[in-house]
Structure 1
């Protein structure tokens, strides 16, 4: 299997969750961040961009985006210089159902493209549940003005991407209290 690093964006303000520290919220008795870190355990290097938090995963490298809270594109800009593998996973820290099998599927599907990303049940691309060629991201990032506050789509719009269906809901994220409650119900049902 192709070697990859992982970048986990964990610096959001959790505004829609009342300012909660979203990566620290629990689903199935485990913090969201730990669930994502478990899914990317096969990465050579794991870079978490956001405030340092306790985690059950040793060896995580912590970085901060500039400015702090500057969004996912700023997180990518902070982490990409530290990536050395040919592929890089870009992951949100609030994906409670991401698993190692989905990560492996994304990595395998990149092929000759610039990346592979999950597409949710509604047909929406999930650029923070994806694997990309490191060189393609670096080229795209170099062509952009300051990344803070810009959408991640500004980085990925020109890339040749393989869209990977997500029937198991691995790209389900927890942005609202309702989504968090739904994730907790689903996790309880899967036990």
Structure 2
């Protein structure tokens, strides 16, 4: 079954809370790598049929539905209940809005693990082995069952910790210290900002940020584009690299967009860059051969001139100089 054929799932992102350890800052709006934390999480769960964000509405990079627990600030269990009421899929992702390293691959792994087994939920554990119930995929029916039981037992869901909800679920745990990393303090924010600028991460982070900023939802083979840029820079001129990749993108858009259109335009431009470079190499080789031939011809003429001068002075055979005869 391909990702397009997978059963539909929804997502609930909890983006409320007072962020007391951040001094009351607007944590979902804090930027890491130029992107708001909330937008980073929304990018990771972009395949969800419906994404519900439980918080006051705000501009986001992707369209979402909004919900709010009653009363606002009622805690994660009440927020989850409010979000879940706006979903209908059998499987639901439950995520916090402060996960800078959550990626689509991790989301797919959570969902595939859930669907492959009989557990009622699959959650990540952090570097210390602690459960992270807000980086998880659940069976919606199981969540609704436990929420109803808690409401009946407690009279309300306000103020209840998440462990009261997850205690009644059959869970599978997946260790992932990176994807489960959340930003509770300014030190966490600083660590996240430093990590994405490391050599092994910065390019992917930059491309993701640019796509979000431009509203582009397109997965392309960046290796192909980098190879093209290298070929254009080396085979033509350094400024040709950015201009060529821009023109490839424009041509792909004219052709209807999509990864195949980008790949096709990149192949054509790469072939042109190769021909251009080969032509330049041939021209250089021909010029070098011409210079060498000219040099050899000049040397020959010089030697011939010396011989003629000798004969004119009677130095050669049959000459009339003083040494002749």
Name the TM tier (shorter chain): over 0.9
Following superposition of structure 1 onto structure 2, how do residues 72-87 of structure 1 map, counting pairs within 5 Å?
Answer: 72-87=76-91
Q: Secondary structure at the match of 1:122?
A: coil
Query: CA deviation digits over 1:12-42, x for unaligned, max 9?
Result: 1111000001000000110000000000001
How far residue 2 of structure 1 moved from its aligned partner, in angstroms, is 2.9
Task: Determine which structure has the larger helix proportion and give its number.
Answer: 2
Structure 2: runs of 5 or more not aligned? 1-5, 203-325
Structure 1: runs of 5 or more not aligned? none
How far residue 147 of structure 1 moved from its aligned partner, in angstroms, is 1.2
User: Which segments of structure 1 move beyond 4 Å, counting only runs of 4 or more?
Assistant: none
Q: Secondary structure at the match of 1:94?
A: coil
Match of 1:95 in 2: 99
**Equivalent-residue separation in structure 1 for 2:41 and 2:125 (angstroms):** 18
**Equivalent-residue separation in structure 2 for 1:122 and 1:54 (angstroms):** 34
Match of 2:119 in 1: 113
Q: If the length of structure 1 is used for normalisation, what is the TM-score? A: 0.96
Q: Relative CO higher for 1 or 2, CA cutoff 8 Å, sep ≥ 6?
A: 1
Q: Secondary structure at the match of 1:82?
A: coil
Alignment check: 8 A CA contact 1:2 1:107 kept: no
Match of 2:55 in 1: 50
Q: Secondary structure at the match of 2:85?
A: helix
Aligned pair partner of 1:17 in 10, 22, 25: 22
Q: Secondary structure at the match of 2:38?
A: helix
- The answer as to 2:79 corresponding to 1:70 is no
* Count of equivalent residues: 189
Q: If the length of structure 2 is used for normalisation, what is the TM-score? A: 0.57
CA RMSD after TM alignment: 0.9
Larger radius of gyration: 2
Q: Secondary structure at the match of 1:65?
A: coil
